């Protein structure tokens, strides 16, 4: 879900001095290797992989055909699915390295996309259209760009007979965009871990942002994410005729519980990633917010600084666990007292805390034993923040200086969630790497008329290819 990759950075964009001009207009003539990449990219984007009407298994098979045609042996390629979800398949490739001591690296991406109705879009969402220097289509950003680059990278390796020192693995999966769907990354981590096991993984979650006026102002590296957890609150009463109300009312009890959740503020806290984010991003600003961010990086309990920083919703969320009511369902008739009410509380848990711990906190905050609290699902691993490893962060920053000159690179923690929760939970430190840039409006990702600048596509492709080669030999 790459739309969440710049959580906390949005507030910085307009305050950072313009650094790199983003060319506009048509891309012009592409190199032969770029034309080959676009052909793969276009096919993947135009293959519907949405949850309602799509088929990830078909998309994975198309990629397998291209990989084999480039010279990758069939026994390096694993296509997978499960009988209960035949359309939710994915693909894993293991491209062997020459070193007997370096552990593999993993390239992780997802090929499923959010639903897109043709009647809502100005263009066919499953046809790549180029207009005014942008490509338009569902998945053109999230996440078929990165998935296409990873597949294209292995194809280029095979055609060039390139032999990296480190084995390079690729896992492109389905189910990332729909929390209750079969999730390929979860399946692989739980059932096929030796197939994808690696020293580290590169994933979506990082990326760049423009100021909306043609200037790229920041690139980010996602180093960790929050734990996603839904809780179901339930209240029940005997009910009865609405002409004779009683104090014990399931709707009122639920309303009281939700109000207490609303009023509760979890304490602010930092980890290595967010401390670095607030220090580095704050130093880029010269205003009151920048000074407050730097102060927070030194003392998270600085009340005056918190009062300023917490006014920004993204930064507020990056500093703590958050819980919010998102759905409610109750009552059975307009002329009857309610017998049953359910509400969903969606929590994004700061790393280091468990869903059980937050459930206990909600129980104390609500303070009413008549309100039942249950996990909506409890099979997700805990997200683990990877270290700010200079062996990995260094090359990311150095290559960013080449491809995005003058643009600051900031480590950040996602307040959302990616499939990195499964790989990191399985012991594979997972990083969201600098990549495409988008505009402040998010370029329609998860919404209407998703788009990406043509220049961003080919710049990020070159950056990611060089990054894989660099890290495959370290």
Q: Across 240-321, where does the E strand assignment appear?
A: 240-241
- 181 — pLDDT class (breaks 50, 70, 90): confident
**CB neighbour class for 266 (10 Å; exposed up to 12, middle 13-18, buried from 19):** middle
Asked if residues 92 and 169 have their Cβ atoms less than 8 Å apart, the reply is yes
Average pLDDT, the chain: 93
Provide the pLDDT confidence category of residue 3 given band limits of 50, 70 and 90. Answer: very low
Model confidence, pTM: 0.90
pLDDT computed for residue 180 by the predictor: 77
- Supply the pLDDT for residue 461: 98
Task: Give 379's pLDDT tier (boundaries 50, 70, 90).
Answer: confident
pLDDT confidence tier of residue 382, bands split at 50, 70 and 90: confident
Dihedral of the CA atoms 391, 394, 396, 398 (nearest 10)? -140
Residues forming beta bridges with residue 433, ordered by sequence position: none
pLDDT of 380 reads 83
397-426 average pLDDT score: 95
Q: What percent of the chain has pLDDT over 70?
A: 94
The mean pLDDT value for 376-394 works out to 91
Share of residues in the chain with pLDDT > 90 (%): 89
Cα(448)–Cα(451) distance, integer angstroms: 9
Tell me the C-alpha to C-alpha distance, in Å, between residue 328 and each of 10, 231, 263, 440. Answer: 30, 12, 18, 31
Determine whether domain 2-225+383-471 maps to CATH 3.20.20.140: no
59-104, pLDDT tens digit by residue?
999 999 999 999 999 999 999 999 999 999 999 999 999 999 999 9
pLDDT of residue 467: 98
- Asked if 254 contacts 328 with a C-beta cutoff of 8 angstroms, the reply is yes
Mean pLDDT score, 49-56: 97
Q: Which of 384, 275, 260, 267 is nearest to 316 (CA)?
A: 267
pLDDT of residue 28: 59
User: What phi and psi values does residue 398 have, to the nearest 5 degrees?
Assistant: -65, -45
Whole-number pLDDT of residue 400: 97
Is residue 25 scored above 50 in pLDDT?
A: no
Given a contact cutoff of 8 angstroms between Cβ atoms, the answer to whether 342 and 232 are in contact is yes
Q: Which helix (H) or strand (E) holds 228?
A: strand 227-236
Q: What are the structural domain ranges in the chain?
A: 2-225+383-471, 227-375
Tokens of 218: 């920041």
Domain 227-375 has CATH 3.30.70.360: yes
pLDDT recorded at residue 21: 56
pLDDT at 24 over 60: no
Q: What is the pLDDT of residues 203-225, one digit of tens each?
A: 999 999 999 998 999 999 999 99
Task: Provide the pLDDT for residue 416.
Answer: 83
- Report CA-CA distances (Å) from 245 to 253, 256, 257, 371: 14, 17, 20, 20
Q: For 100-147, what is each residue's pLDDT tens digit?
A: 999 999 999 999 999 999 999 999 999 999 999 999 999 999 999 999
What's residue 1's pLDDT? 57
Look at the block and give the residue holding tokens 């499923």. Answer: 112
Give 241's strand partners. Answer: 336
Output phi, psi for 83, to 5 deg.
Answer: -55, -35
* Residues 339-360, mean pLDDT to the nearest whole number: 96
How far from 329 is each of 17, 242, 250, 323, CA to CA, in Å? 48, 18, 11, 18
Contact 410, 221 (CB under 8 A): yes
Q: What is the dihedral of CA 288, 291, 296, 297, to 10 degrees?
A: 150
The pairing of beta strand 372-375 with beta strand 227-236:
antiparallel
What is the spatial distance between Cα 284 and Cα 288, in angstroms, rounded to a whole number?
Answer: 12
Q: How many Cβ atoms sit within 10 Å of the Cβ of residue 114?
A: 18
Residues 79, 235: Cα–Cα separation, whole Å: 45
Residue 57 has pLDDT above 90, yes or no: yes
Residues 65, 47: Cα–Cα separation, whole Å: 14
Q: For Cα atoms 222, 227, 229, give the angle at the middle one, nearest 5 degrees.
A: 145
| Residue 375, φ and ψ in degrees, nearest 5 | -70, 135
Rounded CA-CA distance 208/212 in Å is 12
Phi, psi of 313, rounded to the nearest 5 degrees: -65, -35
Contact 31/64 with Cβ under 8 angstroms? Answer: no
Evaluate the CA torsion angle 102, 104, 107, 108 in order and state its sign. negative
Placement of tokens 């029940």 in the chain = 236
Residue 143: asked if its preceding bond is cis (omega within 30°), the reply is: yes
SS3 letters for 161-224? Answer: CCCCCCCEEEEEECCCCCCCCCCHHHHHHHHCHHHHCCCEEEECCCEEEECCCCEEEEEEEEEE
Q: SS3 for 326?
A: strand
Question: What is the crossing angle of helices 250-263 and 355-366, to 10°?
Answer: 120
Torsion of CA 163, 222, 270, 290, to 10 degrees: 130
């Amino acid at each position: 879900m790459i739309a969440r990759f710049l959580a906390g950075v949005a507030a910085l964009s307009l305050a950072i001095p313009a650094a790199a001009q983003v060319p506009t207009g048509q891309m012009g003539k592409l190199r032969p290797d770029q034309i080959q990449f676009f052909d793969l990219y276009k096919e993947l984007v135009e293959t519907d992989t949405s949850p309602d009407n799509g088929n990830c298994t078909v998309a994975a098979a198309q990629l397998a055909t291209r990989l084999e045609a480039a010279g990758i042996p069939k026994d390096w390629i694993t296509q997978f699915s499960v009988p209960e979800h035949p359309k939710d398949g994915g693909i894993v490739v293991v491209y062997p390295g020459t070193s007997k001591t370096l552990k593999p690296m993993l390239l992780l991406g997802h090929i499923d996309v959010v639903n897109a109705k043709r009647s809502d879009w100005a263009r066919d969402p499953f046809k790549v259209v180029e207009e005014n220097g942008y490509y338009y289509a569902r998945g053109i950003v999230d996440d078929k760009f990165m998935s296409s680059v990873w597949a294209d990278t292995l194809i280029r390796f095979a055609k060039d007979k390139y032999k990296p020192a480190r084995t390079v693995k690729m896992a492109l999966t389905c189910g990332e965009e729909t929390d209750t769907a079969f999730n390929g990354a979860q399946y692989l981590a739980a059932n096929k871990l030796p197939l994808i096991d690696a020293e580290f993984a590169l994933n979506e979650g990082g990326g760049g942002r423009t100021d909306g006026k043609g200037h790229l102002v920041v690139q980010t590296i996602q180093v960790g994410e929050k734990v996603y957890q839904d809780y179901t609150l339930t209240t029940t009463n005997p009910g009865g005729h609405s002409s004779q109300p009683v104090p014990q009312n399931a709707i009122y009890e639920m309303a009281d519980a939700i109000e207490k959740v609303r009023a509760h503020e979890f304490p602010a806290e930092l980890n290595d990633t967010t401390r670095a984010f607030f220090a580095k991003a704050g130093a880029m600003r010269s205003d009151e917010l920048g000074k407050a961010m730097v102060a927070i990086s030194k003392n998270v309990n600085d009340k005056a600084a918190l009062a300023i920083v917490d006014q920004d919703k993204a930064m507020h969320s990056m500093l703590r666990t958050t819980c919010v009511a998102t759905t409610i369902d109750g009552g059975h008739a307009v002329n009857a007292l309610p017998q049953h009410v359910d509400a969903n509380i969606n929590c994004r848990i700061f790393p280091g805390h468990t869903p059980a711990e937050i459930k206990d906190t909600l129980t104390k905050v609500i303070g009413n034993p008549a309100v039942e609290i249950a996990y909506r699902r409890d099979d997700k691993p805990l997200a683990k923040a990877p270290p700010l490893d200079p062996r990995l962060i260094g090359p990311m920053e150095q290559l960013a200086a080449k491809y995005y000159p003058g643009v600051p690179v900031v480590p950040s923690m996602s307040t959302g969630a990616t499939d990195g929760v499964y790989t990191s939970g399985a012991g594979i430190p997972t990083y969201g790497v600098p990549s495409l840039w988008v505009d402040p409006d998010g370029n329609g990702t998860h919404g209407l008329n998703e788009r990406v600048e043509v220049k961003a596509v080919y710049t990020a492709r070159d950056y990611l290819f060089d990054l894989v080669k660099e890290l495959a030999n370290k």
